[in-house]
Amino acid sequence: MLAKRIIPCLDVKDGRTVKGVNFVDLRDAGDPVELAWQYSRQGADELVFLDITATHERRKTTAELVKAVARQLNIPFTIGGGINELADADVLLHAGADKISINSAAVRNPALINQLADAFGIQFVVVAVDTRHVDGKNFVHLNGGRLKTDIETEDWIKEAEDRGAGEILLTSMDHDGTKNGFDCVFLKKINDNLSIPLIASGGAGSKQHFVDVFQQSNVDAALAASVFHYGEILIPDLKDELRRHGIEVR
């Protein structure tokens, strides 16, 4: 069995790391370059960097900031935000990204997934999905969660996989920032029907929540932000706890 991955996420706005609850009420969480360096030293398996307002503000992710973060890292680095075409991905690759994450642009132009996979390989393409439970169903949301679509989350994830996504990063907006635990039931439902890795996001508040998500949904990786940024959970301690529960980590 592959080792489970622990992934801190830097949500970046105006050059600073921020964190909110249910995608709103953002507060400052520090310098992304400094945080990246800390996580790399602590033993994070990967790092995700999301420019959370790039799509909403119709601009590109800042390549210079990406370069500054990449210089601090010796672990895989995924970047998302404002990527709408192959040229955007190419710039970020040259700035130091190992993978790119696409979200709203992929929903608006699903062929972008095929194009990126063909150009760079499927291992390079992470499709991020923001989902919210509405009237008994889960629907995809765009523009940093601001815009509901009529696309059911399960249908979209299957299409993304078929088009060449190498991984799915699934964020439960209902759980995001609440620290009440991951949406394990829905994550298991999705994971049981996927043949590519699934990264769980949204709701981490304790070490036990990571134990639960790996044991109950068998996802490949768990991503979190505020519990790491504010020092509530240290990655070495978390990995020790996972090992105590028989969960293999690097």
Closest Cα to residue 88, out of 78, 70, 100? 100
End-to-end CA distance of the chain: 12
User: Quick one: how far is CA 208 from the chain centroid?
Assistant: 20
Phi, psi at 2, each rounded to 5°? -70, 145
Q: Which of 11, 45, 51, 183 is catalytic?
A: 11
At residue 239's C-alpha, the angle toward residues 233 and 244, to 5°, is 115
Active site residue 31: no
DSSP string across 118-157: HHH-GGGEEEEEEEEEETTEEEEEETTTTEEEEEEHHHHH
Give residues with Cβ within 8 angstroms of 191, minimum separation 6.
Answer: 198, 217, 218, 219
3-class DSSP state of 82: coil
| Whether residue 237 lies in the annotated active site | no
Of 45, 51, 88, 130, the catalytic one is 130
| Listed residue (235, 244, 239, 194) closest to 218, CA to CA | 194
Tell me which residues are annotated as active site.
11, 130
